[in-house]
Amino acid sequence: MAWSTALTAVSAAFLASLVEVVEAFTIVLAVATLRGWRPAAIGTTVGLTALAGVVLLLGPLLARVPITSLQLTIGVLLLLFGLGWLRKASLRAAGVIPLHDEEAIFAETAQLGSQQQRVHRSLQWVAGITALKAVLLEGLEVVFIVIAVGAGRGLLLPASLGALAACALVLAAGAAVHRPLSRVPENTLKFGVGVMLSAFGVFWTGEGLGIPWPGQDLALLLFASLFLAAGLLGSSLARKLSLGFA
Amino acid sequence: MTMLKELAAELIGMFVVERRLTISVLAIVAMVASLVDFIGVAPLLGGAALLLGSLTLLVESVLRGARPPG
C-alpha cells in the first residue's frame, strides 16, 4: 500500500468523522449538562455497544462481496453523500441557508429537557435514549465513512485510524473546553469533507465500472481540485443569484 | 419501532439530500455503465462523462437551491 494512498484514506476518514463526532458529542454534552453524566454515559455506552455489533456483523460480510461490486456500490453511495454535503456547504457559504450551529443544537436539546422537568425518572430515561440515539446515528455514519473510504482497496485500517483520531481529538477538545464545539468552523470542514467524499465517489464508481483512471490514485487529487472549484463556483453564483432575487 | 424508523430515515437522508440531485447522479452512473458495458465506448471517455456530469450536477443543484421556490 502506497503511503500517499493510506494518508488520503486517513485524512478523508478523519475529517468526515470529525464532523459526525462533533455532532454526537454536542448532544451527549447537552444531555450530561441537563441530566448529569450518568444517563449520558449509559446512553453513550449502549450506543457504542450497538455500534460495535453492527461493525462485527458487517465486517465478515464485506469479505464475501466481489471487489468491483463493492467499489461500485460504495462509490455511488459516497458520491451521493459527498455531493449532498458539498451542495449544502456551498449554499451555506453563499448565505442562502443558515449555518449549521452546534450552539443551536445544544439550546434545542436543553429546551427539550426543560419542558419535561416534572417527570424526573422519565427524563433520565429520555436523556439516556437521546445520548444513545446520537451516538448510534452519528456512529453509523462514521462506520459508513470508514467502510466507504477503506473497503474498496484494503484501506480499512488507515480509515479506522483516521476515524479513531477524530474521536480522540473531539474528546480531548471537549474535555478541555467543556462547551459545545462551536469554534470548529463546521461549514468549512463540511465543504472540505464534501470535496473529498465526492472525489472518492467518482473514483470508486469509475473503478467499479472498469475505468482505468490515468495516474491511478493521483487522479483523486485532480478530482478533489475540480470538486473544490465547482463548489466555490456554485457558491459564488448562488450568492449573486440570491442577491438578485432579494 | 420509532427509533428504528428514525434510524432508517437518518440513513436514507444521508444519500438523498435532494431528490433531483440523487436521481440525476444515479442516471449518470447508469448511462456511463451502459455506454462502457453495452455500447463499447472507451472506458476513459465514460470516466470523463462521469466526472464532468457530477461536477455539472453539483453546480446546477446549488443554483437551483439558491432560487426562491415557485
Instruction: Please report whether residue B12 resides in a domain.
Output: no
Contact A84 B32 (CB under 8 A): no
What the block records as the C-alpha cell of A148 is: 466507504
Say which of B22, B54, B61 has its CB closest to residue A202.
B54
Chain B residues with CB inside 8 Å of A87's CB?
17-18, 21, 58, 61-62, 65
pTM of the model: 0.65
* Phi, psi at A238, each rounded to 5°: -65, -40
The span from the CA of B8 to the CA of A244, in Å, is 39
Q: Which chain A residues are closer than 8 Å to B17 by Cβ? A: 80, 83-85, 87-88
List phi, psi (to 5°) of B68.
-65, 145
Min Cα distance A91 → chain B (Å) is 6
Mean pLDDT of A138-163: 77
Span B43-56, average pLDDT: 96
Question: What per-residue confidence (pLDDT) applies to A179?
Answer: 55
Among A45-54, A92-101, A172-181, A222-231, the minimum mean pLDDT is found in A172-181
Domain-located, residue B11: no
Residue pLDDT, tens place only, A48-101: 888 777 777 776 676 566 767 877 887 898 799 889 989 999 999 998 887 755
Average pLDDT over every residue of A23-29 = 74
B3, part of any domain: no
Position A230 confidence tier, pLDDT thresholds 50, 70, 90: very high
Which CA distances in Å does B64 have to A69, B20, B25? 33, 10, 15
A210: Cβ contacts below 8 Å, ≥ 6 apart: A68, B36, B43
Write out the DSSP string of chain A.
Answer: --HHHHHHHHHHHHHHHHHHHHHHHHHHHHHHHHH-HHHHHHHHHHHHHHHHHHHHHHHHHHHHS-HHHHHHHHHHHHHHHHHHHHHHHHHHHTTSSPPP-HHHHHHHHHHHHHTTTT-HHHHHHHHHHHHHHHHHHHHHHHHHHHHHHHGGGT-HHHHHHHHHHHHHHHHHHHHHH-S--TTS-HHHHHHHHHHHHHHHHHHHHHHHTT---TTGGGHHHHHHHHHHHHHHHHHHHHHHHHHHH-
**How many structural domains comprise chain B?**
1
Q: Does the pLDDT value for residue B13 go beyond 90?
A: no
- B38 within a domain of the structure (yes/no): yes
Q: Evaluate whether residue B27 is within a structural domain.
A: yes
What pLDDT is recorded for position A192? 80
Q: Domain limits at B22?
A: 17-66
Q: Residue B68 has what pLDDT?
A: 76
What 3-state class would DSSP assign to B8? Answer: helix
| Residue B7 within a domain | no
In this predicted structure, the answer to whether residue A206 has a pLDDT above a threshold of 60 is: yes
State whether A87 and B33 contact (CB < 8 Å).
no
Domains in chain A: boundaries: 3-241
Query: Residue B54: inside a domain, yes or no?
Result: yes
Amino acid, res. A101: D
